[in-house]
Amino acid sequence: MFPGEDETASPTNRIGAMLLVRDLTYRIGDRVLFDKSGFVLPDGAKAGLVGRNGSGKTTLLRLIAGELTAESGDVVIPKDTRIGYVSQEAPNGPETLLDTVLAADTTRARLIAEAEGADGLRRAEIETELADIGAYSAPARAAAVLHGLGFNREAQLRPCSSFSGGWRMRVALASVLFAEPDFLLLDEPTNYLDLEGSMWLNDYLGRYPHTVLVISHDREFLDANVDHIVHLEQARLTVYRGGYTSFAGQYALQKDVLQRTRAKQEAERKHLQSFVDRFRYKASKARQAQSRLKRLEKLEPVSLIVSEGTLPFHLSGPERLSAPPLLTLENVAAGYDGKAVLSGLTLTVQPDDRIALLGANGNGKSTFCKLIGGRLPALSGALRFPQKMKTAYFAQHQIDELTGAATPYEHVARRMPGAPVARIRARAAQFGFSGARAETPIDSLSGGEKARLLMGLAAFDGPDLLILDEPTNHLDIDSRSALMEAVNDYRGAVVLVSHDRFLIEACAERLWLVAGGRITNFDGDIDDYRALVLKGDDDNDSAGRTAAKPENRDGTAPERVNAAKQRAVLADLRKQRDVCEERMQRLTDAVEKIDATLADGSAFRKDAALAGELARKRAEAAATLHDLENRWLELATRIDEMTPKNG
């Protein structure tokens, strides 16, 4: 208990919180995930839980949900709070999707079951209770949630057991969202959603009326949906106000302050130790030495924020680009068992293209990737490409194809028969597996490490065309940024499927919409596509046809600025401008402080040398400030010229 607390009151109610985590300790084997850590989450907060892969984020959600018990400490939630948590066990029964979701409202289900055998007054009471909880509008609400997550009317009436595991996890998510719990816990909800489902969920959570704690590695998702960030690092939990971008700025500033404080402390420690060592046994200085020794003993070391470096991705590109076009499709149809999923494909891929595929799952994005990746033959039409063209294909499900008992070194060695051990180890190190990590069994690697290895192996021979189908599912935020840089630096063509808006906006120069069995050029950006998706349509696979325009036969996109590159340049210019502003403010403060000291002229009478030094520093600061102001004006002008007039 805290001092002055009322023993009879709920801890969370005392502080107006939905969640109080206090002195939490939990370990798995010898590894400590939480070390006497805690935080408070206000009622109604929308919080994002972030941290490196494997740091313990999912474990924390399971502790909050009551699936695990802490070694010590408290996880306190107000009494009668309804907690919603998506179980790892996806529904798989004969019930329809709609009935499965409706059953998540246990109060409604109980009252309806009771009503069947009730009569008279009790039946009337039940009807009143059902009306009060909106039971009669529940089917429409459940259908709306399922539709938002990608299930059309026909699919909603099919049994759960007829869907694959990934789709059934969507049903589990739909059930939790429909129940509208007081405290919603979500663990990487976009991992089993497509871009369209992610956009819908983004909009839904923005309107969600209760407390949310969500694990996500999608910075756009976090910035749009959360007002608090809970950061897990080195077994400690820290809460920051604001979205992810705000957190990143606060975290960087905190790290910088701690580093400077520690450097200052180390200098003081060195000075004190030097005095003690020199005068400890000298009678005339013994008392001063002992005083400094006591001060030295009380000088608590400053703990630095230790950030693990993020390894870059290594995606080998072709030695030289092929002559354009790289790939041409003329009236191509593709599908399975003679039945076309896509038809009438007349498209061109250029040697340095960056293309992102849009469209709901099930419309044929993966079919198209397999077609151009050489894993699926065309049913009809002509598909032309250079004879020696190399293609790399990465799909998330391929992680399961890695040999669990083998090591990264062994996987790389298979691609380099007869090569010296040193060369094999060097190549494994390029993929992020140096030293002992190269000898770690695949089964012991995290999902992100497996994805990193698989991507490196896919691009091993420097392919002309790199196909990435949902590459970010197991990557944390820093790793996603590293992947973005690797894709932008890649020498060759890239076709990308992803629910990560940040990756698409940062990398893609062309957007193709896969809908209605066709692939067309989408004449707009991701914001336009989001508006189209959220506008609503009975069937997701028809969304976007009216906004799509056929691609030109020569493969060129409509005339427009390369939005992705321009955004990157603008972001860099704005960052430089902000740095300028910070330095200008510091120098302005310094000049004003010196001016105040020198204002009355007494400084020169008291200490002429010090006053002269201050005057010199003032002149230097003023000159630097003048240069910074010119630089700021230059940056502001360039930003204004590059910013679209519509904002």
Task: Identify the burial level of 573 via C-beta atoms within 10 angstroms of its C-beta, where 0-12 means exposed, 13-18 middle and 19 or more buried.
Answer: middle
CA neighbor of 309 nearest in space, from 511, 482, 527: 482
Determine the straight-line distance between the first and last CA of the chain, rounded to whole angstroms.
Answer: 52
Mean pLDDT in residue range 105-124: 79
Residues 163-188: pLDDT tens digits?
A: 888 888 899 999 999 999 999 999 98
Tell me how many degrees the CA angle 169-397-159 measures, rounded to the nearest 5. 30
pLDDT reported for residue 260: 66
* Lowest-pLDDT range of 189-203, 209-223, 254-268, 356-370: 254-268
Mean pLDDT in residue range 190-214: 89
Per-residue pLDDT at 548 exceeds 70: no
pLDDT reported for residue 301: 56
Mean pLDDT in residue range 242-259: 75
Regarding beta strands 17-28 and 72-76, do their DSSP bridges make them parallel or antiparallel, or are they unpaired? antiparallel
Per-residue CA distances from 164 to 160, 167, 376 (Å): 9, 5, 21
Instruction: Give the integer Cα–Cα distance in Å for 212 and 160.
Output: 27
DSSP secondary structure, 219-273, as one string: HHHHHHH-SEEEEEETTEEEEEES-HHHHHHHHHHHHHHHHHHHHHHHHHHHHHH
The 3-class SS string of 449-491 reads HHHHHHHHHHCCCCCCEEEEECCCCCCCHHHHHHHHHHHHHCC
Instruction: Give the integer Cα–Cα distance in Å for 502 and 487.
Output: 13
Instruction: Give the integer Cα–Cα distance in Å for 628 and 590.
Output: 15
Per-residue pLDDT at 125 exceeds 50: yes
pLDDT reported for residue 293: 62
Residue ranges in 66-119 assigned as alpha helix (H): 97-102, 106-115
Can you tell me which residue has the tokens 């041409």?
328
Beta carbons within 10 angstroms of residue 432's beta carbon: 21
pLDDT reported for residue 217: 85
Per-residue pLDDT at 258 exceeds 70: no
Residues 369-414: pLDDT tens digits?
A: 999 998 999 999 999 998 889 999 988 777 777 888 889 899 999 9
Question: What residues form DSSP beta bridges with 522?
Answer: 548
Per-residue pLDDT at 242 exceeds 70: yes
Most confident of 189-198, 304-313, 330-339, 543-552: 330-339
Instruction: Give the integer Cα–Cα distance in Å for 359 and 537.
Output: 13
Mean pLDDT in residue range 535-561: 40
Per-residue CA distances from 620 to 306, 588, 615 (Å): 35, 12, 9
| Contact present, 567 and 506 (Cβ < 8 Å) | yes
Contacts (Cβ under 8 Å, ≥6 apart) of 554 = 348
* Lowest-pLDDT range of 117-131, 343-357, 416-430: 117-131
Answer with the residue of higher pLDDT: 363 or 271.
Answer: 363
Contacts (Cβ under 8 Å, ≥6 apart) of 527 = none
pLDDT reported for residue 176: 92
Cα dihedral 77, 80, 83, 87 sign: positive
pLDDT reported for residue 63: 93
Regarding beta strands 211-215 and 183-187, do their DSSP bridges make them parallel or antiparallel, or are they unpaired? parallel
User: Phi/psi zone of residue 580: left (φ > 0), alpha (ψ -120 to 50 degrees), beta?
Assistant: alpha
| Contact present, 513 and 522 (Cβ < 8 Å) | yes
Beta carbons within 10 angstroms of residue 310's beta carbon: 16
* Lowest-pLDDT range of 2-6, 154-158, 530-534, 585-589: 2-6
Residues 442-498: pLDDT tens digits?
A: 888 877 788 888 888 888 889 999 999 988 887 888 788 888 888 888 889 999 999
Answer with the residue of higher pLDDT: 352 or 294.
Answer: 352
CA neighbor of 332 nearest in space, from 393, 388, 377, 362: 377
Residues 317-376: pLDDT tens digits?
A: 888 888 888 999 999 999 999 899 999 999 999 998 999 999 988 889 999 999 999 899
pLDDT reported for residue 256: 65
Question: What residues form DSSP beta bridges with 521?
Answer: 512, 549
pLDDT reported for residue 299: 56
Mean pLDDT in residue range 297-321: 66
Residues 482-511: pLDDT tens digits?
A: 888 888 888 899 999 998 888 888 888 889
pLDDT reported for residue 540: 41
Residue 88, CB half-sphere, CA atoms under 13 Å: how many? 6
CA neighbor of 448 nearest in space, from 426, 430, 431: 431
| pLDDT over 70 percentage in the chain | 81
Per-residue pLDDT at 134 exceeds 90: no
Mean pLDDT score of the chain: 80
User: pTM of the full predicted structure?
Assistant: 0.65
Q: For residues 500, 506, 509 and 511, what is the CA-based torsion angle, rounded to 10 degrees?
A: 20
User: Phi/psi zone of residue 374: left (φ > 0), alpha (ψ -120 to 50 degrees), beta?
Assistant: left
Mean pLDDT in residue range 200-208: 90
Can you tell me which residue has the tokens 């300790």?
25
Mean pLDDT in residue range 102-111: 84
pLDDT reported for residue 390: 92
How many Å separate Cα 59 from the centre of its chain? 18
Task: Name residue 66's amino acid.
Answer: G
Contacts (Cβ under 8 Å, ≥6 apart) of 89 = 172
Tokens read off for 493? 């063509």
Regarding beta strands 518-522 and 548-549, do their DSSP bridges make them parallel or antiparallel, or are they unpaired? antiparallel
Helix (H) / strand (E) containing 83: strand 83-85
pLDDT reported for residue 177: 94
